[in-house]
Structure 1
Amino acid sequence: MRLATAEINLTALEHNLAQVKRFAPNSKVMAVLKANAYGHGLVTIAQHLNEADAFAVARIDEALALRAGGLTKPIVLLEGFFHQEDLPILLANNFQTIIHDEIQLKMLESVQLDAPLNCWLKINTGMHRLGIAPEQFDMFYQRLQASPNAQNKINLMTHFACADDVKNTKTVQQITLFDNLTQEVQQAHCLSNSAGIIAWPSGHGDWVRPGLMLYGVSPMANHTGKDHQLKPVMRLTTKVIAVRDVRAHEKVGYGGRWQSDKPTVLAVVALGYGDGYPRHAKEGTPVIINGHRYGIVGSVAMDMITLDIGNNEHNVQVGDEVIMWGPELPVEEIAQCADTISYELLCNITPRVSYEYQR
């Protein structure tokens, strides 16, 4: 019996990329593939994003895995490099690098390379994570232009802190600051993540970098991907492995966390936090079996979850498919039930879950 499975719909992935292009028709697309393509499978996902103009990853090992998988598109390292010895590797593999602090700039200036690198200068406009201070922009830009190890084309980037909240004026402030700093510089600009693509068209710039929305999930608070005509790419399923009667007031699971006030039937499903499902999912978090919703009861264990299926009027049986999330049950809803975000649920899928790619 095939148990925990992540079904990856490649047609939905391609649809979502096309939807990105509809949101930002005048921008090139840098598809974000970090964290194993948000849990969907790095290389296979990249191989089916043929209409993307470039890929973006967090770290060099992810970029090298893409090259090993035969991907030839430009790849941008969103965290840049961490050691001077990395720079020849970047050049040899045609990787583009973010420059976000002076340590990186000094390493780039002091190395001898056979050819210049394609660099992105990241400006901190309010995220206060990575990026140079606004008052440093002129100095960094001039030093990069003067360096023989950087191409004259110095791309410019920032990152939004609150773009998922359309009522928050922070994004407008960040766009304004970025535009004011860079208005005299004729270089490519990249500002918008998925939320910026959907909600802030004034920040689209020359490049957009969709991440979560490529996988059919909404980056916006209190929305699902369907609200933006996106299609979920992952469908996480498992199977029922036991159906059992429980008497009234019998305590179920570790710590006796749950008990029914009347006789009921439980279904036990083969999936737990060992597969990446959130241990802190609340009582009542839904799953779907044969078109009907049932709620989780008791503690999520490493390998199993229990469901209250009442009097089993719909005849749930061992071997029935259980949908944990997917097109029928948005991952955004599960994230709310677990007091977390959909990003975490997707990225937390563990290696013992089988992946099945399909169209």
Structure 2
Amino acid sequence: MSARAPPSWPAELGDEPWWWQKLLHVYEHKQTVLDLRHFDASRPVIGDEGMKVLAERGLPSVPEVTKLSLWGNHIGDDGLQVLAERGLPHVPKLTDLYLGGNRIGAEGLKVLAKRGLASVPNLLNLSLGDNHIGADGAKVLAERGLQHVPKLTNLSLRSNGIGDRGLKVLAKRGLRNVPQLTNLDLSHNDIGEDGAKVFAKELAANVLPILTGLGGVDLHDHLDVMQLPGVLGSATNKDILKFIHERAQDDGGVRMAVAKVMVIGPGAAGKTTLIHHFVSGGEFLRDVTMTDGMEMCDWTIGGMELRFYDFGGQEVYTNTHRLFLGTKGVFVLVWHPPDQDRLISEYARDALDCAPDAHLVFVSTHAH
């Protein structure tokens, strides 16, 4: 098979710009990363006209490229259209496409969604942040685009003005097409209460079973529609997502290789300090504050992942904790003798009432 011809710059356009020289370097050295991000204001951007040359004359010469970054190049709808229709079909191995910081609107995104993404089915990372796709762009991405990239793990839509309308469509009709998504950035999108509630309710149905990173929607503000206990009111998105995934697991959903450790006991018994001791490898925790509600923490040891549930010991949380105690796991009851001896049986009884077959471990945190 003959070698692929080198990319040819149109002589009528003058000297080769910096980004074309980078393309030549990738071609000559058979590299797979084509990084054309624009940072230097003294150098020209690619723009829509340059994108036509790149898509039609450049990308056909580098079919092995897996990562293409075009950040900050003033690419608009016309430029994105030609990339989608004439450029992406030449780089079918693409796994990373970065289009952030451009001038892309809904019209350009429609072409990318309908025709461009179908050419790159192995895409893992798609960045569209800091553009102008709006609600219409989010809608077409959800309904016509994401179905073509089922392996997607990272999606950035930050600062695009998608609003409540765009978010609702994305939540109801788009996210189910990307079950491997682990990070979703929706920050700075004019999302209101209505859109956030719809989105949170869909997430509660575990439509994204391995999502761990979420920006732009504070899930702890929507525990009611997610049917989650109020004790998670101060939890991070990451911890709430963990709980959703584990709830699905307990209900017969996807099995996860995570062992749950429920650390219970009176307030000030040393539960948080004990967990920190394990996770940090023996480091002493100073200036510890009382746990507010419940916190979660992961620890990997010997190929096994342990997830600690650190329950606040204040009496006000006792009833809400029972909502969690029915799950399968190991229960560690921590207390401070002799002041808290009388409370041991109460906490043990709560655990056994909710999980009769529970494995209980008793830990005294202070020696005398």
Question: Which range, TM-score by smaller chain?
Answer: under 0.3
Bigger-Rg structure (1/2): 2
Which is richer in strand?
A: 1
In the superposition, the TM-score normalised over structure 2's length comes to 0.27
In the superposition, the TM-score normalised over structure 1's length comes to 0.27
